[in-house]
Amino acid sequence: MGKTRRNKVRILTRNELPDMRCNCGEKAEWVCSICLYDGNAWFCDKCAREHECGEDMLLPVVNSPRCGVCAYEGEIRMRDKNDKS
């Protein structure tokens, strides 16, 4: 049998939610799935209500490469964890 190592776990990276901003400067809470590929797709709560594509096209900003596509809204437990930080 091989040797047992008792080294501590070392965190190499963290997957932190990117700081996406609305055009008004506020933190983005929503992404428009239509405008995502055209540029201006990130919206705070206030600007999201006024966005021309409508609420049906808005998805919550989540920490995932799937953010804004395929109706992905993230895992509930991950969204709750990010809300606490």
Q: What is the pLDDT of residues 40-85, one digit of tens each?
A: 899 999 999 999 999 889 998 887 766 767 766 776 544 454 554 4
Average pLDDT over residues 11-34: 88
Whole-number Å distance between alpha carbons of 20 and 8: 34
Q: Which two structure tokens, joined as six digits, stand for 2?
A: 């091989």
Domain boundaries, the chain: 30-84
Which of the four pLDDT bands, split at 50, 70 and 90, describes residue 2?
Answer: low
Tokens for 19? 């700081």
Residue 8 in tokens: 């501590």
